[in-house]
């Protein structure tokens, strides 16, 4: 009996999607007052409560870590309530009443960064998914929509800015050096969109005039001294507002839009109504301190949170199982925005890499779930690449099948039907279906089925009849969460090329591309009048999130890579060629056959002689696939084999193409940094070339030259990465110069932390200890943790997978420490350990040992409990 594990007896219980019930009560109007003090904040919440339907059940409110001071109903204090650890239950007969609840909370000790917390002398909130219950007792579920009025009292000197959602309607002075402000949000919203911020900032202001002529005040609140780094985010917001008007006819609704940048934040940003809260690294940028990638991410995340105002806020989720309703759709919208603002092909390449490297891994691991999950223990665990990015791919497939105009018709109908409501993924598909008069019943399965479908492609060419046939078959392997899989509706965008890369007409109308509907387990498609055996370009632009099995000849791949008109196809072909050769090397003790290497070098030479206009594309095509995407191709991952074979491929390119790479490198000159496509492309290509050139004789002098000359973070980091890649002796020297220059700038220092943590050297663990002892390291700041522990666990392949188990142990230790400090961050770090099934037995034992050690911790958070138990029962 005494041996009974507390983990099992207190095991958190999963909630099921199928158990959804409408709320017993609605709360339609909320009036909150906050008296902010670091460790004793008082919160008074007055709610208008209305019984939903004819029943006598009590009102059961959610709460977490709250001290309850007072409850009254219609102005009279009561004590006939029951208060347990996570709930407050109030039995009261009336169908409508005013409920007043006073709670006390401790923001200073809140290291979870969920609810109301104090960091760097700033009070801020994070309520999605279920953080509002850490502020007051409430119906903390997204289908309870209310208007909010919020009054904030705080010390005037320490917290000159007091912010909440909506419009400021009153302000004044209080006793003892305090002041107060009242905000009113006229739009009904679920409590997860509530926000409050109090602090001292630099304020950067701008204006936007909407398509209907209304002027919106834009306000960005950043840390003192950082105003000069807010410009790019402000411009990005204005672009996003214009883009949504032009693309979807959607205009902003309030008269003010605020963005606050904070240093302590669990994710990228949060779309609170009228008051977005951002991780400072997703707002602040200048050429000296931010890379092109940072600029890109800021634009896309500013866009993402802005687009949520319609897809998420005006139309929200009925329950958290429907998270992809807002996230998949909003990611798709931010992807289209980024594509329109920058380079469509590189934008698509980075999305596809994410799916292949991370989402496919999630789908084949213990946390596998459909984009609309069926069972959840801790909702924070479901903000995943599956819900977000596969969710966006599912939306993209609808866009592909319905076309731009059809998709727009569906969106219009969706808003016409559901503005102001909390709805489901089915409601979204219904709108798409009804607006276009199509039957999407088969397509819907993408929402409920997890796992990565595998499509096999066979081609048959009949020269005599001039008929070309492709036979497609689909199969989705079972996953941890679902044993039986159904056939899906898979859109297959394809083209036929001749040997010169020209597209063949596929029908009488002369169309050269088409989208095939693969709706059965086996299906074939015929094309007539094809005069020579064509080269098949299939799943163009990654038209469905599937794995493709197609034994295409290297000649055909090379033809696509060198001659196809479509840029994305060219990139994919280059990656397939590399992948084939590298995997061949893995099979043969790290040695790639000479003729395979020669073939690739010859292709690359042609590519460098006959450069595509887009240098960013060229840079991507010269880059070999990542460890993660190669690992996805193996049933049992051969860590050492992939590392060796991949390195051999890179070394061969570096040795054989020095002159060509050097010529390309020298072509890419920019004067004066601008975040502008041609410049970005030049920097991309030159830094890819530099990484190869670092290996050669001139390596060190090229690195030093670029380091000296660089006026921007992209080129500086390019040098450091290239030096690290070939362990060039100057690496350490340049790193310490970099550290002294940026010693007091934590956002830049994170890049330095991450460069060190990703170095594949034998003494990496000693290095990590030095990093975490650095004056600016902090295990309560998620950005620092991700830069050091996150980079090591996800990207330092040889260090993490060290056969002596030290890498696994290091990460498990960090997770155990973080379990109490910040469960959300701890839980995200466990992914690489939970993928033990993909490795050989020795590694499996070591990884499972660490998972068991985590499982044995007292007070394991529900976040970690859910992942560890799934990982161990895989
Ligand atoms: N809704 C946010 C977004 O995608 C995500 C988010 C921000 C979040 N902070 C969070 C989710 C904390 C869970 C917990 O834009
Ligand atoms: Zn989002």
Tokens 């690449």: give the residue. 385
pLDDT digits (tens, 9 = 90+) for 217-239: 999 999 999 999 999 999 999 99
Confirm whether 305 is a catalytic residue.
yes
For a substitution probing ligand 1, which of 128, 268, 322 has the most ligand atoms within 8 Å of its CB?
128
Which H or E run contains 361? helix 360-363
Question: If you measure from the C-alpha of residue 334 to the centroid of ligand 2, how many angstroms do you get, rounded to a whole number?
Answer: 10
Among 592, 624, 656, the domain boundary falls at 656
CA distances from 185 to 31, 166, 460, 740 (A): 11, 4, 63, 46
Give yes or no: residues 774 and 627 share one domain: no
Query: In this structure, are residues 630 and 562 in contact, taking their beta carbons and an 8 Å threshold?
Result: no
Among 632, 656, 680, the domain boundary falls at 656
- 351 domain residue, yes or no: no
- Across the range 535-561, mean pLDDT stands at 97
Q: Give residues with Cβ within 8 angstroms of 85, minimum separation 6.
A: none
- 193 domain residue, yes or no: yes
**Total number of domains constituting the chain:** 4
Helix (H) and strand (E) counts for the chain? 31, 31
- Across the range 399-404, mean pLDDT stands at 98
- Across the range 359-376, mean pLDDT stands at 98
Segments of 74-160 assigned E as strands: 76-77, 81-83, 87-90, 96-105, 115-119, 122-126, 146-155
Query: In this structure, are residues 684 and 292 in contact, taking their beta carbons and an 8 Å threshold?
Result: yes
Give the pLDDT of residue 533.
Answer: 96
Look at residue 223 and give its three-state secondary structure.
Answer: coil
Give yes or no: residues 763 and 864 share one domain: yes
CATH number, domain with residue 747: 1.25.50.10
Give the pLDDT of residue 6.
Answer: 43
pLDDT digits (tens, 9 = 90+) for 138-190: 999 999 999 999 999 999 999 999 999 999 999 999 999 999 999 999 999 99
Q: Give residues with Cβ within 8 angstroms of 834, minimum separation 6.
A: 365, 366, 367, 851, 867, 868, 870, 871
Please tell me if the CB atom of residue 689 comes closer than 6 angstroms to any atom of ligand 1: no
Burial 105-135 (b: 16+ CB within 10 A, else e): bbbeebbbbbbbbbbeebbbbbbbbbbbbbb
d(CA 689, CA 585): 23
Give yes or no: residues 533 and 472 share one domain: yes
In this structure, which residue's CA is closest to atom 1 in ligand 1?
A: 270
Look at residue 766 and give its three-state secondary structure.
Answer: helix
- Across the range 843-861, mean pLDDT stands at 98
- 355 domain residue, yes or no: no
Q: What percent of the chain has pLDDT over 90?
A: 97
Question: If you measure from the C-alpha of residue 330 to the centroid of ligand 2, how many angstroms do you get, rounded to a whole number?
Answer: 6
CATH number, domain with residue 524: 2.60.40.1840
Query: In this structure, are residues 621 and 661 in contact, taking their beta carbons and an 8 Å threshold?
Result: no
Integer-rounded Cα Rg, in Å, for the chain is: 28
Q: Please compute, for residue 543, the number of CA atoms within 13 A of its CA located in the half-sphere on the CB side.
A: 24
d(CA 159, CA 174): 13
- 258 domain residue, yes or no: no
CB atoms within 10 A of CB 207: 9
- 217 domain residue, yes or no: no
Tokens 């138990």: give the residue. 869
- Across the range 725-740, mean pLDDT stands at 93
DSSP state of 281: G
**What is the chain's length?**
874
Give yes or no: residues 536 and 588 share one domain: no
d(CA 844, CA 292): 38
Please tell me if the CB atom of residue 266 comes closer than 6 angstroms to any atom of ligand 1: yes
Query: In this structure, are residues 66 and 86 in contact, taking their beta carbons and an 8 Å threshold?
Result: no
pTM of the model: 0.98
CATH number, domain with residue 158: 2.60.40.1730
Query: In this structure, are residues 410 and 436 in contact, taking their beta carbons and an 8 Å threshold?
Result: yes
Mean pLDDT, the chain, integer? 97
d(CA 25, CA 698): 73
Cross-strand pairs, 155: 178
Please tell me if the CB atom of residue 270 comes closer than 6 angstroms to any atom of ligand 1: yes
Query: In this structure, are residues 19 and 321 in contact, taking their beta carbons and an 8 Å threshold?
Result: no
Give yes or no: residues 29 and 96 share one domain: yes
pLDDT digits (tens, 9 = 90+) for 853-871: 999 999 999 999 999 999 9
Look at residue 737 and give its three-state secondary structure.
Answer: helix
Give yes or no: residues 798 and 827 share one domain: yes
Please tell me if the CB atom of residue 130 comes closer than 6 angstroms to any atom of ligand 1: no
CB atoms within 10 A of CB 142: 23
Give yes or no: residues 28 and 102 share one domain: yes
Q: Above 60 in pLDDT, residue 5?
A: no
**Sign (positive or negative) of CA dihedral 715, 720, 726, 732:** positive
Please tell me if the CB atom of residue 378 comes closer than 6 angstroms to any atom of ligand 1: no
DSSP state of 320: G
Residue 317 CA to its chain's centroid (Å)? 19
Q: Show the domain range for 535.
A: 454-551
Q: Above 60 in pLDDT, residue 3?
A: no
Atom of ligand 1 nearest to the CA of 129: 13
d(CA 209, CA 536): 48
Give the pLDDT of residue 110.
Answer: 98
Bridging pattern class, strands 25-35 and 41-51: antiparallel
Look at residue 235 and give its three-state secondary structure.
Answer: helix
Q: What angle do CA 137, 139, 140 make, to 5 degrees?
A: 90
d(CA 540, CA 223): 44
Question: If you measure from the C-alpha of residue 232 to the centroid of ligand 2, how many angstroms do you get, rounded to a whole number?
Answer: 20
Give yes or no: residues 61 and 192 share one domain: yes
Please tell me if the CB atom of residue 126 comes closer than 6 angstroms to any atom of ligand 1: yes
Q: Which one is catalytic: 100, 102, 305, 327? A: 305
Of 475, 554, 543, the residue nearest 515 (C-alpha):
543
Confidence at 670, pLDDT banded by 50, 70, 90: confident
Q: Above 60 in pLDDT, residue 9?
A: no
Of 147, 151, 122, the residue nearest 48 (C-alpha):
147
For a substitution probing ligand 1, which of 110, 115, 126 has the most ligand atoms within 8 Å of its CB?
126
Q: Above 60 in pLDDT, residue 8?
A: no
Query: Residue 682: is the preceding peptide bond cis (ω within 30°)?
Result: no
Confidence at 874, pLDDT banded by 50, 70, 90: confident
Q: Above 80 in pLDDT, residue 789?
A: yes
- Across the range 50-69, mean pLDDT stands at 98
Confidence at 123, pLDDT banded by 50, 70, 90: very high
Give yes or no: residues 67 and 132 share one domain: yes
- What is the token pair recorded at 451? 């796992």
- 860 domain residue, yes or no: yes
Please tell me if the CB atom of residue 334 comes closer than 6 angstroms to any atom of ligand 1: no
Give the pLDDT of residue 500.
Answer: 80
Give the pLDDT of residue 61.
Answer: 98
CB atoms within 10 A of CB 635: 5
- What is the token pair recorded at 36? 């902010």
Confidence at 568, pLDDT banded by 50, 70, 90: very high
Cross-strand pairs, 422: 316
Among 656, 671, 700, the domain boundary falls at 656
CA distances from 71 to 45, 83, 270, 486, 714 (A): 10, 11, 31, 52, 56
Give the pLDDT of residue 538.
Answer: 98
Of 68, 57, 64, the residue nearest 100 (C-alpha):
68
Give yes or no: residues 765 and 815 share one domain: yes
d(CA 189, CA 191): 6
SS (H, E, C) 146-204: EEEEEEEEEECCCCCEEEECCEEEEEEECCCCEEEEEEEEEEEECHHHCCEEEECCEEE
Give yes or no: residues 489 and 586 share one domain: no
Q: Above 70 in pLDDT, residue 1?
A: no
In this structure, which residue's CA is closest to atom 6 in ligand 1?
A: 270
Alpha-helical (H) ranges within 479-531 are: none
The gap between the terminal CA atoms of the chain, to the nearest Å, is 27
d(CA 569, CA 374): 36
Q: Give residues with Cβ within 8 angstroms of 515, minimum separation 6.
A: 400, 401, 491, 492, 493, 494, 543
Please tell me if the CB atom of residue 380 comes closer than 6 angstroms to any atom of ligand 1: yes
Question: If you measure from the C-alpha of residue 100 to the centroid of ligand 1, how many angstroms do you get, rounded to a whole number?
Answer: 29
Q: Give residues with Cβ within 8 angstroms of 208, minimum separation 6.
A: 215, 216, 218, 237, 238, 241, 242, 252, 257
- More reliable by pLDDT, 354 or 502: 354
Q: Above 60 in pLDDT, residue 2?
A: no
- Across the range 834-849, mean pLDDT stands at 98
Give the pLDDT of residue 590.
Answer: 85
d(CA 568, CA 566): 6
Query: In this structure, are residues 350 and 413 in contact, taking their beta carbons and an 8 Å threshold?
Result: no
- 303 domain residue, yes or no: no
Considering all CA atoms of the chain, what is the largest pairwise distance in Å, rounded to the nearest integer? 94
Atom of ligand 1 nearest to the CA of 330: 4
d(CA 422, CA 702): 57
- 650 domain residue, yes or no: yes
Give yes or no: residues 65 and 188 share one domain: yes
Question: If you measure from the C-alpha of residue 267 to the centroid of ligand 1, how many angstroms do you get, rounded to a whole number?
Answer: 6
For a substitution probing ligand 1, which of 270, 298, 301 has the most ligand atoms within 8 Å of its CB?
270
């Amino acid at each position: 009996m005494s041996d009974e594990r507390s983990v099992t007896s207190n095991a958190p219980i999963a909630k099921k999607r199928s158990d959804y019930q409408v709320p017993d009560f609605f709360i339609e109007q909320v009036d909150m007052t906050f008296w902010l003090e670091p460790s004793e904040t008082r919160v008074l919440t007055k709610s208008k409560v209305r019984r939903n339907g004819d029943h006598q059940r009590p009102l059961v409110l959610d709460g977490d870590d709250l001290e309850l001071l007072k409850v009254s109903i219609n102005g009279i204090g009561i004590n006939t309530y029951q208060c347990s650890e996570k709930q407050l239950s109030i039995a009261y007969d009336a169908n409508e009443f005013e409920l007043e609840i006073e709670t006390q909370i401790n923001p200073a000790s809140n290291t979870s960064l969920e609810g109301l917390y104090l960091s760097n002398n700033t009070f801020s909130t994070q309520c999605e998914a279920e953080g509002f219950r850490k502020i007051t007792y409430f119906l903390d579920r997204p289908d309870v929509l209310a208007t909010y009025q919020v009054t904030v009292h705080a010390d005037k000197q320490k917290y000159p800015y007091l912010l909440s959602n909506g419009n400021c309607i009153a302000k004044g002075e209080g006793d003892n050096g305090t002041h107060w402000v009242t905000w009113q949000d006229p739009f009904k919203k679920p409590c997860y969109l509530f926000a409050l911020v109090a602090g001292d900032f630099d304020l950067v202001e701008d204006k936007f005039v909407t398509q209907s002529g209304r002027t919106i005040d834009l306000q960005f609140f950043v840390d003192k001294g950082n105003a000069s780094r807010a410009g790019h985010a402000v411009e990005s917001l204005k672009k996003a507002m214009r883009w949504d008007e032009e693309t979807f006819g959607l205009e902003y609704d309030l008269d003010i839009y605020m963005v606050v940048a904070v240093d302590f934040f669990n994710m990228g940003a949060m779309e609170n109504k009228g008051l977005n809260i951002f991780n400072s690294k997703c707002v602040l940028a200048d050429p000296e301190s931010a890379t092109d990638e940072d600029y890109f991410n800021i634009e896309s995340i500013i866009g993402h949170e802005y687009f949520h105002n319609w897809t998420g806020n005006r139309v929200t989720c009925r329950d958290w199982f429907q998270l992809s309703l807002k996230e998949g759709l909003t990611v798709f919208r931010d992807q289209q925005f980024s594509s329109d603002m920058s380079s469509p092909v590189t934008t698509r390449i980075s999305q596809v890499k994410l799916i292949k490297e991370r989402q496919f891994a999630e789908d084949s691991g213990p946390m596998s779930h459909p984009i609309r999950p069926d069972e959840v223990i801790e909702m924070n665990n479901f903000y995943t690449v599956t819900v977000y990015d596969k969710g966006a791919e599912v939306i993209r497939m609808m866009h592909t099948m319905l076309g731009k105009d059809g998709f727009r018709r569906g969106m219009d109908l969706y808003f016409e039907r559901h503005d102001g409501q909390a709805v489901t993924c089915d409601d979204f598909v219904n709108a798409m279906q009804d607006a276009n008069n199509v039957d999407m019943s088969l397509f819907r399965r993408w929402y409920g089925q997890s796992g990565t479908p595998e499509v096999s492609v066979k081609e048959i060419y009949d020269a005599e009849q001039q008929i070309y046939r492709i036979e497609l078959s689909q199969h989705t392997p079972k996953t941890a969460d679902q044993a039986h899989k159904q056939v899906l509706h898979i859109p297959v965008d394809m083209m036929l090329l001749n040997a010169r890369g020209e597209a063949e007409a596929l029908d009488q109308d002369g169309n050269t591309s088409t989208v095939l509907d693969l709706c059965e387990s086996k299906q074939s498609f015929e094309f007539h009048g094809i005069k020579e055996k064509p080269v098949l370009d299939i799943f163009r632009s990654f038209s469905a999130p599937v794995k493709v099995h197609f034994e295409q000849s290297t000649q055909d791949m090379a033809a696509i890579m060198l001659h196809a008109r479509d840029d994305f196809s060219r990139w994919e072909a280059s990656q397939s060629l590399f992948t084939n050769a590298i995997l061949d090397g893995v099979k043969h003790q790290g040695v790639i056959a000479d003729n395979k290497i020669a073939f690739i070098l010859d292709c690359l030479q042609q590519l460098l002689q006959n450069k595509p206009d887009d240098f960013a594309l060229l840079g991507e095509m010269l880059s070999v696939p990542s460890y993660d995407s190669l690992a996805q191709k193996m049933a049992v991952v051969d860590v050492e084999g992939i590392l060796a074979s991949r390195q051999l491929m890179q070394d061969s390119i570096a040795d054989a193409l020095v002159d060509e790479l050097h010529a390309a490198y020298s072509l890419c000159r920019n004067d004066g940094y601008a975040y502008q496509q041609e410049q970005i492309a030049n920097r991309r290509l030159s830094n890819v070339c530099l990484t190869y050139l670092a290996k050669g004789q001139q390596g060190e002098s090229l690195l030093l030259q670029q380091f000296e000359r660089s006026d921007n973070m992209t080129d500086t980091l390019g040098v450091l990465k290239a030096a690290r890649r070939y362990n060039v002796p100057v690496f350490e020297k340049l790193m310490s110069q970099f550290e002294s220059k940026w010693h007091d700038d934590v956002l830049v220092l994170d890049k330095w932390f991450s460069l060190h943590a990703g170095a594949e050297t034998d003494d990496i663990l000693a290095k990590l200890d030095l990093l975490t002892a650095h004056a600016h390291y902090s295990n309560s700041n998620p950005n620092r943790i991700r830069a050091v522990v996150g980079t090591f666990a996800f990207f330092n392949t040889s260090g993490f997978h060290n056969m002596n188990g030290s890498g696994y142990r290091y990460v498990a230790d960090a997770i155990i420490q973080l379990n109490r400090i910040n469960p959300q961050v701890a839980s995200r770090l466990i992914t690489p350990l939970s993928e033990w099934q993909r490795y050989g037995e020795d590694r499996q034992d070591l990884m499972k040992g660490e998972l068991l050690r985590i499982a044995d911790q007292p007070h394991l958070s529900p976040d970690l409990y859910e992942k560890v138990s799934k990982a161990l029962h895989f």
